[in-house]
Amino acid sequence: MKNILLIGMGRFGCYTAKRLNALGHDVMAVDRNEERINKIMDEVTSARIGDATKRDFLMTLGIKDFDLCIVAVGDCFLEALEITSLLDELGAERIIARATSATMEKFLLRNGADTVVFPERQMANWTAIRFSSDHIENYIEVSDGYSIYEVKVPEQWDKKRIDEIDVRRKYGISILGIRNGKMNMNPAYNVTLYKDETMLVLGKNEELQRIFHL
Q: What is the pLDDT of residues 176-195, one digit of tens each?
A: 889 988 888 888 888 899 98
**CATH number for the domain whose boundaries are 125-212:** 3.30.70.1450
Q: Cα separations (Å) of 128 from 124, 139, 177?
A: 6, 10, 23
In CATH terms, 3-117 corresponds, of 3.40.50.1110, 3.40.50.1100, 3.20.20.100, 3.40.50.720, to: 3.40.50.720
How far is the C-alpha of 181 from the C-alpha of 65, rounded, in Å? 44
Q: Say what the pLDDT of residue 132 is.
A: 62
Spell out the residues 6+ positions from residue 73 whose beta carbon is closer than 8 angstroms to its own. 7, 8, 10, 13, 52, 79, 80, 83, 98
Q: Can you give the pLDDT at residue 181? A: 81
Q: Encode the chain (214 residues) as per-residue pLDDT tens digits.
A: 899 999 999 989 999 999 999 989 999 999 999 999 999 999 999 999 999 999 999 999 999 999 999 999 967 889 999 999 999 999 999 999 998 888 888 999 999 999 998 877 666 666 666 666 666 777 777 777 888 888 889 889 999 998 888 888 888 888 888 998 888 888 888 889 998 899 888 988 888 888 877 5
Nearest-5° angle of CA 62, CA 12, CA 127?
A: 145
Task: Report the pLDDT value the prediction gives residue 127, as an integer from 0 to 100.
Answer: 67
Q: What is the pLDDT of residues 102-116, one digit of tens each?
A: 888 899 999 999 999
Cβ of 45: how many Cβ atoms within 10 Å? Answer: 14
- The partner residues of 49 in beta bridges, in order of sequence, read 31
- Which residue type occupies 192? T
| All structural domains of the chain with their residue ranges | 3-117, 125-212
pLDDT tens-digit map of 41-59:
999 999 999 999 999 999 9
